[in-house]
């Protein structure tokens, strides 16, 4: 494990190996390098004028992670009372919290309003009526549907409306006594197509101008999340993506428009390294199978949707192709296929970089395997 793997800094790798050497923590567990988180929070938004960062809590809602991000002064994007309650423990001011879930449960909406949260997204008339009743006078922003091409985790079809409907919804909000302030979208998570933001911002501009023509002056555009991280491939750097976004923002909107960014994966994803143990191996037909103690149900759920991780072992044997499976007895619990790796032995450690986002937050105790601990280093 001495050699630093691709896309991991030497500083992070040294910290990880040091932690493992000194700790008797049982695997599997997730290490989070605070320095990477701090670097990401300071870089994201720097290249976009008049912008504010709201960390999307669902990417990793671990209490220590949220406490650390809070100490960096970032805002938060939340969708549930569970997420709100963790932030409440740290006394996060309601002005630093937004909710971009366009379909809020009654319970969450009520708790959020009681706490003082005042910024909510929506994309339907039913939600206008709900917010007018439970969050009268709140600042609201409409979610539009935008292209998700090139995103490894597309989401667009679940939420969002087209331009004309969005303008109608902004008017309806105003007529219901709400305060329409802006527009939001999500280009899809792990978005490796930098042009998606441009298409999305062009659509947002249409909504912004039509709204203005109807007497609604908007003051905010929330560009959602989607910034990609490096798993197996190189991706555009934050600065490259933001240069394009900033250019589009300056072309399309007036100078006083505020830009909100809601990164999840890009803040916490490559700060995380899963530490796991090889539990067994077998040859089945012509396939080599490797079983490890973290799998689809206790941390690596995104592998089912096509996210591919890097696996690091200490072995110096000749590489072989492996099917890698998790610890449960379910046939869905296969993480990856045709992974080239030097042959490890049962009991050896196997490390997975770039696993800080959408791992622990998706984990269940299926089949009796505990949810792995998250440890900040």
Interface contacts to ligand PLP, rule CB under 6 A: 56, 58-59, 77, 100, 186, 189, 224-227, 262-266
Residues 56 and 99: their CA atoms lie apart, in Å, by 9
Main-chain dihedrals φ then ψ at residue 59, nearest 5 degrees: -60, -40
Output 268 or 292, the one with its CB closest to ligand PLP.
Answer: 268
Output 7 or 153, the one with its CB closest to ligand PLP.
Answer: 153
By DSSP bridging, strand 272-284 and strand 319-325 are: unpaired
Output 27 or 100, the one with its CB closest to ligand PLP.
Answer: 100
Q: Which residues pair with 341 in a beta bridge?
A: 320
Q: How many CB atoms lie within 10 A of CB 4?
A: 17
Q: Which residues are catalytic?
A: 329
DSSP 303-355: GGGT-----EE---SPEEEEEEE-SSS-TT-EEEEEEEEEPP-TT-EEEEES-
Q: Determine the straight-line distance between the first and last CA of the chain, rounded to whole angstroms.
A: 18
Instruction: Tell the smallest beta-carbon distance from residue 377 to ligand PLP (Å).
Output: 22
Output 182 or 224, the one with its CB closest to ligand PLP.
Answer: 224
Residue 114's Cβ-count burial label (10 Å; 0-12, 13-18, 19+) is exposed
Q: Which two tokens stand for residue 86?
A: 């963790």
Residues 6 or more apart from 326 whose CB is under 8 A from it?
291, 292, 293, 294, 295, 296, 297, 298, 300, 333, 334, 335
Instruction: Tell the smallest beta-carbon distance from residue 33 to ligand PLP (Å).
Output: 18
Name the helix (H) or strand (E) containing 164. Answer: helix 163-175
Residues 175 and 180: their CA atoms lie apart, in Å, by 10
Instruction: Tell the smallest beta-carbon distance from residue 189 to ligand PLP (Å).
Output: 3
Sign of CA dihedral 237, 238, 240, 245: positive
Instruction: Tell the smallest beta-carbon distance from residue 266 to ligand PLP (Å).
Output: 6
Output 122 or 291, the one with its CB closest to ligand PLP.
Answer: 122
For 354: left if phi > 0, alpha if psi spans -120 to 50, otherwise beta; the answer is: left
For 286, which DSSP code?
T
Closest to 36 (Cα-Cα) out of 207, 279, 306, 271:
271
Q: Which residues pair with 77 in a beta bridge?
A: 56, 98
Output 100 or 118, the one with its CB closest to ligand PLP.
Answer: 100
Name the closest residue to ligand PLP (Cβ). Answer: 225
Instruction: Tell the smallest beta-carbon distance from residue 86 to ligand PLP (Å).
Output: 16
Output 58 or 203, the one with its CB closest to ligand PLP.
Answer: 58
Instruction: Tell the smallest beta-carbon distance from residue 363 to ligand PLP (Å).
Output: 16
């Amino acid at each position: 494990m001495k050699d630093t793997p691709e896309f991991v800094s030497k500083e992070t790798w040294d910290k990880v190996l040091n932690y493992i050497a000194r700790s008797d923590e049982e695997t599997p567990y997730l290490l989070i390098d605070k320095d990477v988180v701090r670097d990401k929070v300071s870089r994201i938004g720097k290249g976009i004028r008049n912008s504010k960062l709201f960390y999307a809590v669902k990417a990793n809602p671990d209490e220590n992670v949220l406490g650390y991000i809070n100490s960096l002064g970032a805002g938060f994007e939340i969708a549930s009372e569970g997420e709100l309650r963790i932030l409440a423990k740290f006394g996060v001011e309601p002005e630093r919290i937004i909710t971009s879930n366009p379909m809020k449960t009654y319970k969450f909406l009520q708790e959020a309003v009681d706490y003082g949260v005042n910024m909510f997204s929506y994309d339907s008339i039913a939600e206008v009526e709900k917010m007018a009743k439970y969050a009268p006078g709140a600042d609201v922003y409409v979610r539009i549907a935008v292209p998700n091409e090139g995103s490894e985790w597309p989401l667009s079809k679940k939420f969002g409306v087209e331009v004309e409907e969005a303008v109608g919804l902004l008017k309806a909000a105003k007529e219901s006594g709400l305060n329409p302030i802006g527009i939001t979208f999500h280009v899809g998570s792990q978005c490796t197509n930098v042009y998606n933001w441009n298409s999305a911002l062009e659509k947002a501009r249409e909504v912004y101008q039509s709204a203005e023509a109807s007497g609604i002056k908007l003051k905010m555009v929330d560009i959602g999340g989607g910034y990609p991280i490096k798993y197996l491939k190189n991706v555009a750097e934050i600065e490259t993506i933001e240069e394009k976004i900033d250019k589009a923002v300056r072309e399309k909107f007036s100078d006083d428009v505020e830009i909100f960014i809601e990164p999840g994966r890009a803040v916490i994803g490559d700060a995380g390294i899963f530490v796991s143990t090889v539990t067994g191996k077998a040859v089945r037909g012509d396939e080599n199978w490797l079983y490890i103690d973290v799998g689809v149900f206790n941390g690596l759920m995104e592998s089912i949707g096509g996210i591919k991780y890097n696996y690091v072992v200490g072995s110096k044997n000749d590489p072989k192709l492996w099917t890698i499976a998790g610890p449960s007895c379910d046939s869905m619990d296969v993480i990856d296929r045709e992974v080239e790796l030097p042959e490890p032995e049962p009991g050896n450690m196997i490390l997975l970089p770039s696993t800080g986002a959408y791992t622990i937050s998706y984990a269940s105790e299926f089949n009796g395997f505990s949810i792995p601990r998250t440890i900040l280093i």
